[in-house]
Amino acid sequence: MNDESPGLGLDLPEPAAPAAASPYRVLARKYRPQNFHELIGQDAMVRTLGNAIASGRIAHAFLLTGVRGVGKTSTARLVAKALNCIGPDGQGGPTIDPCGVCEPCRAITEGRFIDVIEMDAASNTGVDDVREIIESVRYAAVSARYKIYIIDEVHMLTKNAFNALLKTLEEPPPHVKFLFATTEVAKVPVTVLSRCQRFDLRRIPAEALAAHFARVAAAEQIDVEPEALAVVARAAEGSARDGLSILDQAIAHGSGTITATEVRQMLGLADRGRVRDLFAALLAGDAGAVLGQLDEAYSLGIDPASLMRGLMETVHTVTRAKAGGAGDVLQSAEEREAAGEWAGRLGWAVLHRLWQMMLKGLSDIGQAPDPHEAAAMALLRLVHAAELPDPAAVLGRLQNGEAVAAVLSRQASAPASAPVAEVRPAAPPPVEPAQPRNLREVIELVEKEGRALLAQQLHDQVGLVRLAPGELVVHPQRPLGSDWARDLAAVLKAASGSTWAVSLSDDAAEPSLLDQDRIAEQRARDAVLAEPMVAAVFASFPDATLTSIIAKEA
């Protein structure tokens, strides 16, 4: 075989394998902040950390709390970088602006730094997991300035795990720092909170999110309408991660330029037309149409609670429009136009009444065995409320005398009712002026001696049989104890300076003062309800109730 023959190819190099395509990284991971300048919406926290690092006043434990997706774990990693950065020349110290090129910075970014230990408390909740941390903090860092423990969702630790961590958390070795992150800070024990420097990460403003998403879209070479970015930012509810996930979905959903209409459809906001139709049927008082639309939505798989929340959003939108507030970018032009039209013809009282009834209906749906039936009953209550007269119109009729005249005519034609027997307490026997004249004055003497429980028992649990100078006979309505009469006699003697004979009797007695107060209150209610003006109000609002009576000062 000569040198020019192709041969069998045994000595030839293997052909190069095609380069494997790099796996796709979602935007929320790809654009995770790598320094504090890229961390949006948390300027106050960054300033505090920068000042602490610059002055060398670095706490031994930090607690980062906030809603999902605002950057708690990312901030913890950035703090780990800031504390362990050694600079490009290897001579740097802790800094709020880590270089990102030294070995600690690169290793922390890639998640392979041996001295930065991340633990998920949701899957490591027990005391044994915390005991491993306690045992390892004694050893110095291998290659870093600080050994850093990042514990995510720290509120998931058990009570015993928290207790085991307390001593180490309060006095850790100087080379150890703890960074805790949680979305539910109320579940973290106070003993742990008091040992940490706490930072509350705020919801990121929608304007800042929209600007951030615009930069991401430009980096990804995606054409997105500014209004679509505003819709994504509003739907993210202050969470950068949620917003990037929505933007990722919108990129896959759309073709070419991503529009606000496409984003609304993707988020299911286009189905708000069904909620608007249902709201219009409620205002019209059309029970058949309301139940039909509810059944249709239920057959399509729409949760009754979600439908009620949609109605509440509509009421809120109409109320904001009536108050002159700006429209929500999540709403289409049709929604804003409908909200403006309803705001023009619905009064404040109607809107507030609808909101309260829908809030009660939402609670009923959550508690009822069958949410669909509860939603139907709640909507029927709203239909009934739509038929009630406007309070302003009723007030006008009252002021004109129309409603009062109608009630007076009904009362004149109605048969007379028997008078209610008035219960009068028996007149106390004459006593010396220096002695208490009735049971209420006896109670005042007992209260002056600081015996509140004894005074309460005299008011609520006994009826007066006889009261004379130095003598008190009462009928107990429940057992008072064998020493009760003797104790009361001693208290009265101390209060009045004279000897008292107190005894318990089964003889006929007056009602207790508590019962007398209730009878008087009922008579007052009956008198108020008999007033023609009040009766006219109740005739216009059959479901109204009298909750309290306030006496007008003379």
In angstroms, the CA 13 to CA 538 distance is: 99
The CA-to-CA distance between both ends of the chain, in Å, stands at: 130
What secondary structure, in 3-state letters, does 351-392 show?
A: HHHHHHHHHHHHHHHHHCCCHHHHHHHHHHHHHHHHHCCCHH
Check residue 418 and give its pLDDT: 47
Q: What are phi and psi of 62, to 5 degrees?
A: -125, 140
Q: How many CA atoms lie within 13 A of 285 on its CB side?
A: 6
Q: How far is CA 168 from CA 79, 136, 236, in A?
A: 20, 11, 38
Give the residue among 292, 526, 520 at the shortest CA–CA distance from 418: 526
Check residue 182 and give its pLDDT: 92
CATH classification code of 206-266: 1.10.8.60
Give the residue among 172, 177, 125, 132 at the shortest CA–CA distance from 152: 125
In angstroms, the CA 517 to CA 515 distance is: 5
Q: Please, which residues bridge with residue 151 across strands?
A: 119, 180
Check residue 150 and give its pLDDT: 92
Beta strands 471-476 and 462-468 are antiparallel
Check residue 128 and give its pLDDT: 85
Check residue 9 and give its pLDDT: 42
CATH classification code of 389-410+429-554: 3.30.300
In angstroms, the CA 71 to CA 41 distance is: 10
Read off the DSSP letter of residue 21. Answer: P
Check residue 12 and give its pLDDT: 47
pLDDT in tens, 389-431: 666 566 666 666 665 565 556 655 655 554 444 545 555 554 4
For residue 237, the tally of other CB atoms under 10 A from its CB is 15
* Chain position carrying tokens 């300035």: 145
H-type helices in 156-195, by residue range?
159-170, 190-193
The secondary structure of the chain in percent helix, strand, coil, rounded to multiples of 5, reads 55, 10, 40
Q: Which residues of the chain have pLDDT under 50?
A: 1-10, 12, 19, 418-421, 423, 430-433, 554
Check residue 291 and give its pLDDT: 92
Q: Please, which residues bridge with residue 120 across strands?
A: 152
Give the residue among 342, 370, 337 at the shortest CA–CA distance from 354: 342
Query: Exposure string (b/e) for 217-233, b if CB count within 10 Å is 16 or more?
Result: beeeebebeeebbbbbb
Residue 531, Ramachandran bin (φ over 0: left; ψ between -120 and 50: alpha; else beta)? beta
DSSP SS3 for 100: coil
DSSP SS3 for 475: strand
Q: Please, which residues bridge with residue 198 across strands?
A: 63
Residue 151 belongs to what H/E stretch?
Answer: strand 147-152
- Both tokens assigned to 71: 């950057």
In the chain, domain spans: 27-200, 206-266, 303-387, 389-410+429-554
pLDDT in tens, 291-311: 998 888 888 777 888 888 888
The architecture (CATH level 2) of 27-200 comes to 3-Layer(aba) Sandwich (3.40)
302-308 contact pairs (CB < 8 A, 24+): 302/271, 302/274, 303/371, 304/365, 304/371, 304/372, 304/374, 304/375, 305/362, 305/365, 305/366, 305/371, 305/375, 307/275, 307/278, 307/375, 308/358, 308/361, 308/362, 308/365, 308/375, 308/378
Q: Please, which residues bridge with residue 502 across strands?
A: 472
Check residue 126 and give its pLDDT: 83
Residue 7, Ramachandran bin (φ over 0: left; ψ between -120 and 50: alpha; else beta)? left
Residue pair 101/94 in contact by the 8 Å Cβ criterion = no
Check residue 410 and give its pLDDT: 62
* Chain position carrying tokens 């508590």: 514
Residue 514 belongs to what H/E stretch?
Answer: helix 513-530
In angstroms, the CA 75 to CA 44 distance is: 13
CA R_g for the chain: 38
Check residue 178 and give its pLDDT: 93
CA angle 301, 289, 304 (to 5 degrees): 30
CA angle 362, 230, 35 (to 5 degrees): 105
